Structure 1
Amino acid sequence: MTFRTVLLCSAVCFAFPLQAHAEAPAPQQSSTDTSTQTSTRTSTASTASDETGNAIVVTARRLDLARDSINPSLGTSQTLVTRAAIDVQPGGANNALSSVLLQAPGVSQDSTNNGEVHIRNEHGNVQYRLNGVTVPQAFSGFGADVDPRIANSVEILTGALPAQYGLRTSGVVNMTTRTGTFGLGGDVGIYGGSNNEINPSASFTDSFGATNVFLSGSYLENDLGIENPTPDRAAIHDHTEQWRGFGYASTLLGSEDRISAFGGAAIGRFQIPNQPGVTPEYNYLGQTDFDSTKLDQNQRQDTWFGVVAFQHSGDRLNFQIAPFYRYAKAQFTADPNGGTLMFNGTDSNLTETSYASGVQADASYALGDSHTLRFGLFFQNEVSRSDSVNRVFPVDNSGAPQSSDVPIVIPVAERVLGRTYSAYLQDEWKLSDTLTANYGVRFDESDAQVNQYQFSPRFNLVWTPGEGTTLHFGYARYFTPPPLTLIGKGTLAAFDGTTGAPEVQADGPIRAESDDVFDIGIQQKVGDHLTLGVDTYYKIARNLLDDTTLGGTQILAPFNYAKGHTWGVEYKASYNNGPLNAYFNMARGQQKATDIVSNQYLIGADDYAYIANHYIYTDHSQKLTMSGGASLNLDDGIGKLKPAVDFIYGSGLRKDDPVGGIPNGGEQSPYIQVNLGLAQDFGYDKDHAWSLRFDVINLFDSVYEIHDGSGVGAGQPEYGPRRSFFVGLHKAF
């Protein structure tokens, strides 16, 4: 029997472990203060008043806490963003999820309209979890599958992660969903303003005995769906329409068991924005000129996912087993009048689809007062299809850019199958009242273009030498499988003798990334209101994964650097005193890599030759990143007045060196973006109050460029948003 067979059989049998009874032990507390999260759950549960209702509430809350204790964040660097913090920031829950993530240290922006951020200067490699369950990610580049409206809290974990966290490891975003209030309720809202934005939303909660239901939906339409490639206020051909929906239902099966189901959909239509004044390089059917502002390129992106979870909480044993499914489709259509072909020498009508299904099982078992074992399994089966109709021009040896203005049509159809198998075992050992060790091992196997596997040791040590002081040290070995959204090996020959032939005729197979990560940090409470922290890290990478846009499309394709290293130091501070809440983050870091060893055809010949023998900055490496904000919660006689301000600062992502020709050898100019928000709640019953808000994004109208389109791994030029004004009205019931 193979190891993979053992994993699959074990996952099926996972739901029938040793019998256990009575109450679950209190969950382990991480170094981050979780009292806000706990009190939020208590307040939302307190609406039930009858004896049966109270019993249901208490049982559900205990199961929530037991679920969280299965996957603790011991020894990591953590940032917890509560529901109150989400609502009060400029834009509130109308923001993209990326705006919430930018409140954490070491998170830098990149295409924030599309949900792209970099955590610790990594490209992607972010794991998203809902209620502790990993949700398989779809294609990167066009928005998150969920928005902050569904979140009760968002926790961002970085550093040397414990063994239960694998596969995507630059950061773990764990969202605890709003699960209802055990009573009829909900809210409706409308938000909009600049860029012709309109954004209605609604949610609904109810309960039926021991069954609890939460539903949420939103629609977004504006004229800035993708970052503007020009510094102008209005983008050209940049309309978007986006729909998101989410549903959650759970029911108690006695005092120790619960079954829940949740799922959602994200559907987006995007116009690809245009740049004026660009001159075509090719002729098409006798046509020699094309107005670049008239290009009509579009992309559609659909994602559907669903999870069913069974949870048991006993006196020693807690476990959750969760089968999941995800379907995703990305479709890019080139300009139907040949404009894409005239500018790029090639165009593609490309459709990628991905089907993923699997199961995740996690458990904890208390051996006594000093030891808690945690163990789990993960399996995923994914099928990715790529179908494209490509048009290119023929070329000959004359040196002319094309030998005919009549395009050649080259269809390409590919199918890639990938399977992932994982298992882990670890022990949380309480050495003393002030010292805790968490050690374990994880096994991962990726069977796709290349079959690879790795055993990964993990170790964390947390010391609390005095009141308010927490030190942590950790080491983790990581294994990150590549995404399956790629053009497979063997298709390059079809483009020989055409304008679609790449400069580098190599397509080495994409490989999994393997890392060694070291992390050490300290957190100190100063008095009753101020918390300070510093965290340092260093990563050694083999087969470092990166992405770049695929041809003229907006779909990302991966490649590997043979070696890379990342280092950084993060500082954070938070202050909470009555109506005032404030935070500040600063991070200094960099990432460098060398020698591209897979999908080399995605890179230009000169860049490829240089990188083969030199370390370069990755395009998403930023030296200095800062963020901060403050908010007040004031009683003004008619309700609550909530002014808020936040900002982000970046020293600039990478671009090509304009003098020396070094790939990614230059930096974009530094920038700062300040946002202002003002919300007024009318009435003091938060479950039935009206709320009016006014927000200004980029208050000082800072004009800054995120990317200029140059560099290895960068796409088209992108500018940050210009000053924008928004107003919203929200009613809870």
Structure 2
Amino acid sequence: MKLKIGLLAAVSALGCVTTAVAQVDPATPQSSQVKPGPAAVGASPPAGAVSEVVVTAQRLNAARLAIEPSLGASTYTVNNAAIQALPGGDDQPLNDVILQLPGVVQDSFGQFHVRDDHNGIQYRINGTILPEGISVFGQTLSPRLVDSLSLITGALPAQYGLETAGIIDVTTKSGLKNGGAISLYGGSHGTYEPSLVYGGSGGGTNFFVSAEFKRTQLGIESPDGSSTPDHDRADEGNVFVYADHILTQQDRVSFIGGYSDDRFQIPDTPGLGPANGFAVGSVTDYPSTLLNETQRETTGFAIGSWLHDQGPFTVQTSVFSRYSTLDFRPSPVGDLLYTGIAQNAFKRDVALGVQTEGVYRVTPAHTLRGGIIIQGDRGTSDTVSQVLPVLPDGTTGTTPVLIADNGGKTEYTYSVYLQDEWKLLSKLTLNYGLRGDDVNGYRDEKQLSPRVNLVWLPTPQTTLHAGYARYFNPPPFELVGTETVSKFQNTTGASTLTQDTTPFAERQQYYDIGGEQKLLDRRLTLGVDVFYRQSHNLIDEGQFGAPIILTPFNYLRGIIFGQEFTANYTQGPLSAYFSFTHQRAQGKDIDSSQFSFDPAELAYIARNYIYLDHDQTYTGSAGATYLIRDGVIGGTRFGFDLLYGSGLRRDQTAADGTDIPNGDHVASYLTANLTASHHFDLPLTGVVDVRVDVVNVGDKLYEIRDGTGVGVGAPQFGARRGVFGGITKSF
């Protein structure tokens, strides 16, 4: 049973607790569990044939979901209707949707953190892994393609590995009903966003496509708190394609593809000037408003899958690939004067893999699941840096010199797992398994990882769970630095330290316990979840240098723990939700990528546990929506959402003058967003939807980062008040 709790819509759910048993009862034939859906508007087949296609498609979807239910993990799900009801709807970035889920912390550059882990996010589309890319700002996936989205976290079953802080599991729209929509959205910060979606079905083939383009003058967070910063334009475009074809009642093939091309200006902070005393030729002054740094990110992915469902046995085999690039262009003279280095950085990553997973219902009490995943990954890095020479007498030259530093590496990953869902009693399920991972890249590391989860339903309204997982998390291969530190000696680009240990894989012991209770005839759901994690070689990431490229490093020891509380209420046209999380993340002794750090900082961390830079002690979200169903304004929906954060970490100076890395935090904040929409269905115009959204209603000025902290590059402020409107015409 996957719990799905209402989020901003009476028809949807934003969840609180756990998956108690498999989504599809293995003791019951799947064909008897799927009710016929609405008939698709097929162009040529007779109505009966179309209905049969729809029913077969739904049954195969259920069979695919049964391969990898998140038994015992904490699962929070939101569907497309709920996304539409959020301020911004389909026009907001996907990460803004995810920020409303429990335990998710907002960061700069559009990043988010799940349960105080810096990265560790794995995306899956229709059950298939989407390899990591190297984008920083760009959003590869759009809410428009989402039929439902789940965040799966906690003590995960054995099918999930390598990135385990959170699984973003996306089920795409499939086009079972012909139709589409064209939309135009825009408003503050010079924002406009046209988009198009269309889906259809004919014979045994279904398809769905979406395309969008967004231009805004607030592409990256403001570095000075201004509403629309200088030099901050972003142009973002992406397309998505889904198609499947039913071969027989038991077999289906499908294709998923997408491409995004995102271009960003790096915003300038007015009123600054060079302070290092450098000169480039005769130039010593350079107003900060003339800086012209840019970054372009592209990503393309393709997934081909074959699904076979034969009675008690279901298997899906997928071939997946992903291509991504990041191209940073400096402001040559300005960067040299401000930082002593102007670096053209180009990174490319190409991944290709195969994933085969299956489920076998052995008996009503035992369901076996297993899989094999093999992936190859080729990463290259080409950089050309302009630096100033440091002369023998200690002075700095004025004629730039070029340093080329290129590198590349190939990584192979092999994973295999087997697990058994054992129904000890009708209301007590034990899911236990073993996973093995072998990663051969910058390092050759491997691990066997046991997993166990126990789920108990003492009453129909109560679910309890407890779990343990051993995790193996290699550093993000595409981000591991390849810089040759020695090439920069005796230049303004030199590092104080030359030690550069290659990052290690993180190894975790993870414990999770929680429960949920339904009250008021299931209209109210309350949940709690407690987690504790011990890490060896805990992975963190930071921005070191002008290119907005994150570099992984390790803390030798790490501890992360926390508690999540959730509540959801749905009654008729009213839906409301609330979540609150307390968590803490600390690490000690940096043992890789040491050249990125100041020696005093490194020495302090070697002796003391410090908070991780992305740690936020308290995080909360809430929202509600009300749909007016009848009367003159019937079809009108009003809603709001809130986001609270106690503040990410910043450096602190103690009373004795000691600098404590990440010893303090920026100020807390609470922001509110409003939305209003109306659905028209008129004889002349057809179906038209209009909406108005107000972001940060109170125009709250708040810092996400203040420019200090381990691996923090520059200050960033949250978006100021913005008013946006949109119109969508369905056809």
TM-score, normalised relative to structure 2: 0.93
1:32 is displaced (CA, Å) by 4.5
Give 2:320's match in structure 1, choosing from 324, 328, 349. 324
Structure 2 CA distance for aligned equivalents of residues 631 and 622 of structure 1: 28
Give 1:67's match in structure 2, choosing from 60, 64, 69. 64
Is 1:674 matched with 2:672? Answer: yes
Is 1:52 matched with 2:60? Answer: no
Is 1:298 matched with 2:294? Answer: yes
Contact kept, 8 Å, 2:510 with 2:534, in 1: the verdict is: yes
1:398 is displaced (CA, Å) by 4.4
Counterpart in the other structure of 1:509 = 502
Deviation digits for residues 401-447 of structure 1 (CA, Å, limit 9, x no counterpart): x2x11111100110011111100000000111110000000001111
Structure 2 CA distance for aligned equivalents of residues 397 and 510 of structure 1: 34
2:652 match: secondary structure? coil
Structure 1 CA distance for aligned equivalents of residues 317 and 461 of structure 2: 36
1:367 is displaced (CA, Å) by 0.5
What is the one-letter code of the residue matched to 1:708? D
1:502 is displaced (CA, Å) by 0.8
Is 1:30 matched with 2:26? Answer: no
Counterpart in the other structure of 1:493 = 486
2:63 match: secondary structure? helix
1:265 match: secondary structure? strand
Counterpart in the other structure of 2:124 = 129
1:360 is displaced (CA, Å) by 1.0
Structure 2 CA distance for aligned equivalents of residues 41 and 601 of structure 1: 60
Counterpart in the other structure of 2:357 = 362
Structure 1 CA distance for aligned equivalents of residues 391 and 540 of structure 2: 34
Is 1:155 matched with 2:146? Answer: no
Is 1:557 matched with 2:555? Answer: no
Contact kept, 8 Å, 1:639 with 1:683, in 2: the verdict is: no
Cα 1:673/1:45, change in 2 over 3 Å:
farther
Is 1:313 matched with 2:306? Answer: no
Structure 2 CA distance for aligned equivalents of residues 688 and 478 of structure 1: 53
Deviation digits for residues 355-401 of structure 1 (CA, Å, limit 9, x no counterpart): 1000111100000100000000111101100001011111146454x
Is 1:701 matched with 2:699? Answer: yes
Contact kept, 8 Å, 1:479 with 1:515, in 2: the verdict is: yes
Counterpart in the other structure of 2:660 = 662
Structure 1 CA distance for aligned equivalents of residues 150 and 3 of structure 2: 13
Counterpart in the other structure of 1:519 = 512
Structure 2 CA distance for aligned equivalents of residues 42 and 298 of structure 1: 52
Structure 2 CA distance for aligned equivalents of residues 122 and 596 of structure 1: 16
1:4-23 to structure 2, matched below 5 A, reads none
Counterpart in the other structure of 2:454 = 461
Give 1:637's match in structure 2, choosing from 629, 632, 635. 632
1:255 is displaced (CA, Å) by 0.4
Give 2:641's match in structure 1, choosing from 624, 637, 646. 646
1:277 is displaced (CA, Å) by 2.2
What is the one-letter code of the residue matched to 1:634? I
2:117 match: secondary structure? coil
1:668 is displaced (CA, Å) by 0.4
Structure 2 CA distance for aligned equivalents of residues 485 and 711 of structure 1: 24
Counterpart in the other structure of 2:382 = 387
Structure 2 CA distance for aligned equivalents of residues 36 and 722 of structure 1: 29
Structure 2 CA distance for aligned equivalents of residues 463 and 33 of structure 1: 19
2:496 match: secondary structure? coil
What is the one-letter code of the residue matched to 1:180? G
1:625 is displaced (CA, Å) by 0.1
Is 1:146 matched with 2:118? Answer: no
Structure 2 CA distance for aligned equivalents of residues 40 and 316 of structure 1: 16
1:143 is displaced (CA, Å) by 2.5
Deviation digits for residues 524-544 of structure 1 (CA, Å, limit 9, x no counterpart): 001220000000000111111
Cα 1:684/1:619, change in 2 over 3 Å:
farther
Structure 1 CA distance for aligned equivalents of residues 119 and 35 of structure 2: 31
Give 1:594's match in structure 2, choosing from 571, 585, 588. 588
Cα 1:688/1:170, change in 2 over 3 Å:
farther
Deviation digits for residues 482-509 of structure 1 (CA, Å, limit 9, x no counterpart): 1223465671111111111111211101
1:55 match: secondary structure? helix
1:656 match: secondary structure? strand
Counterpart in the other structure of 2:709 = 711
1:715 is displaced (CA, Å) by 2.3
Contact kept, 8 Å, 2:587 with 2:610, in 1: the verdict is: yes
Is 1:90 matched with 2:87? Answer: yes
Give 2:399's match in structure 1, choosing from 381, 390, 406. 406
Q: Unmatched 5+ residue regions in structure 1?
A: 1-28
Structure 2 CA distance for aligned equivalents of residues 330 and 237 of structure 1: 19
Is 1:214 matched with 2:212? Answer: no
Q: Give the number of equivalent residue pairs.
A: 698
Give 1:426's match in structure 2, choosing from 392, 413, 419. 419
Cα 1:517/1:258, change in 2 over 3 Å:
same
Structure 2 CA distance for aligned equivalents of residues 343 and 42 of structure 1: 65
Is 1:287 matched with 2:280? Answer: no
TM-score, normalised relative to structure 1: 0.93
Structure 1 CA distance for aligned equivalents of residues 400 and 318 of structure 2: 50
Contact kept, 8 Å, 1:458 with 1:476, in 2: the verdict is: yes
1:182 is displaced (CA, Å) by 3.9
Counterpart in the other structure of 2:441 = 448
Contact kept, 8 Å, 2:157 with 2:451, in 1: the verdict is: yes
Contact kept, 8 Å, 1:489 with 1:508, in 2: the verdict is: no
1:599 is displaced (CA, Å) by 1.0
Cα 1:542/1:100, change in 2 over 3 Å:
same
Structure 1 CA distance for aligned equivalents of residues 71 and 562 of structure 2: 21
1:347 is displaced (CA, Å) by 1.3
Structure 2 CA distance for aligned equivalents of residues 622 and 41 of structure 1: 44
Q: Structure 1 stretch 687-696 or stretch 283-292: which is displaced more? A: 687-696
Structure 2 CA distance for aligned equivalents of residues 530 and 199 of structure 1: 37
Contact kept, 8 Å, 2:545 with 2:713, in 1: the verdict is: no
Structure 2 CA distance for aligned equivalents of residues 479 and 486 of structure 1: 18
Structure 2 CA distance for aligned equivalents of residues 416 and 130 of structure 1: 27
Structure 2 CA distance for aligned equivalents of residues 484 and 118 of structure 1: 19
1:494 match: secondary structure? helix
Cα 1:488/1:94, change in 2 over 3 Å:
closer
Cα 1:663/1:44, change in 2 over 3 Å:
farther
Q: Which has the higher contact order (CA 8 A, sep 6+)?
A: 2
Contact kept, 8 Å, 1:31 with 1:74, in 2: the verdict is: no
Counterpart in the other structure of 2:16 = none
Counterpart in the other structure of 1:103 = 100
Counterpart in the other structure of 1:19 = none
1:221-236 to structure 2, matched below 5 A, reads 221-236=215-230
Counterpart in the other structure of 1:729 = 727
Give 2:525's match in structure 1, choosing from 528, 531, 536. 531
Contact kept, 8 Å, 2:38 with 2:51, in 1: the verdict is: no
1:116 is displaced (CA, Å) by 1.0
Contact kept, 8 Å, 1:260 with 1:310, in 2: the verdict is: yes
Cα 1:695/1:43, change in 2 over 3 Å:
farther
1:714 is displaced (CA, Å) by 1.6
Q: Structure 1 stretch 480-489 or stretch 600-609: which is displaced more? A: 480-489
2:579 match: secondary structure? strand
Structure 2 CA distance for aligned equivalents of residues 582 and 43 of structure 1: 28
Structure 1 CA distance for aligned equivalents of residues 47 and 410 of structure 2: 53
Contact kept, 8 Å, 1:639 with 1:682, in 2: the verdict is: no
Structure 1 CA distance for aligned equivalents of residues 382 and 483 of structure 2: 15
Contact kept, 8 Å, 1:213 with 1:249, in 2: the verdict is: yes
Contact kept, 8 Å, 1:590 with 1:622, in 2: the verdict is: yes
Counterpart in the other structure of 2:29 = none
1:285 is displaced (CA, Å) by 1.0
Structure 2 CA distance for aligned equivalents of residues 669 and 154 of structure 1: 31
